[in-house]
Amino acid sequence: MDMLYDGHEGPLVLLAHGAGAPMDSGAMNRITSALVAAGFRVGRFEFPYMMKRRQDGRKRPPDGMKTLLRAWRDCIDQVLDACEPGERLFIGGKSMGGRMATHILAEECPEAVAGAMVFGYPFHPPGKLDRWRIDHFPRLERPLWIAQGERDPFGKRQELADIDWGRAPVRVHWVANGDHDFLPTRRSGLDQDSLLAEAASAAADFGQQCLEGGF
């Protein structure tokens, strides 16, 4: 499995891409840069359907969940084979890739995985509040941190206001005025890179708490 690596020190976080864009898309590059600046090492990989698209240029729908989760587990195994014994890491990603990472946390999560970091969780399809994608959250075996734009059509702040996470180890960091790619409106006067830097800093705090057992 081909991977991209960025950063030279700090906790390792593995990122998977969203449904429609590859691991080196503009959004993934910006998220990666923000995490590296916040003190992480970042590894990125692609699901099989996106690897085929890179080879022949043909757009394809995402693989089925079983294939996506198998790719995630293969990535984790590959990375752990190259890590020092006892090293811990984080998994996560953008939108769909991050969502699949949360299923790893809920289904026989490898011991080396300390938690997950998701940028833009697809809580539901846009406009379809009857199709929430959080049924597995009560089964999470590790902490989950989510950076979510306040205007994200896949889960706006007001739509999540009444959700009771119960004992699920979930923390949501709201990105002011951000959409699914954390882009603010022009009239807000906010800057996308600054918002991502703030989110990455919050991710670093979360990571430290997880590694120290304080989450």
pLDDT tens-digit map of 78-116: 999 998 888 999 999 999 999 999 999 999 999 999 999
The three-state secondary structure class of 4 is strand
Q: How many domains would you assign to the chain?
A: 1
> Is the predicted pLDDT of residue 1 greater than 90, yes or no?
no
Q: What predicted TM-score, i.e. pTM, was given to this entire model?
A: 0.96
Tell me the average pLDDT of the chain: 96
Provide the residue range defining the domain that includes 62.
3-211
Q: Quickly count: other Cβ atoms within 10 Å of residue 8's Cβ.
A: 7
> Is the predicted pLDDT of residue 215 greater than 90, yes or no?
no
**How far, in Å, CA of 151 to CA of 132, rounded?**
17
Q: Quickly count: other Cβ atoms within 10 Å of residue 196's Cβ.
A: 26
Dig out the tokens for 210 from the structure.
């997880």
Instruction: List, in sequence order, the alpha helices (H) in the chain.
Output: 26-37, 48-56, 65-82, 96-106, 157-160, 192-211
Of the two residues 215 and 47, the one the predictor is more confident about is 47
Q: Say which residues have a Cβ less than 8 Å from residue 160's Cβ, sequence separation at least 6.
A: 123, 148, 172
The one-letter amino acid at 170: V
Residue with tokens 């697809």: 122
pLDDT tens-digit map of 3-34: 999 998 999 999 999 999 999 999 999 999 99
pLDDT tens-digit map of 154-195: 999 999 998 999 899 999 999 999 999 999 999 999 999 999
Beta bridge partners of 116: 91, 144
Q: Quickly count: other Cβ atoms within 10 Å of residue 59's Cβ.
A: 8
**pLDDT value of residue 84:** 85
**CATH code of 24's domain:** 3.40.50.1820
What is the β-pairing status of strands 144-149 and 113-119? Answer: parallel
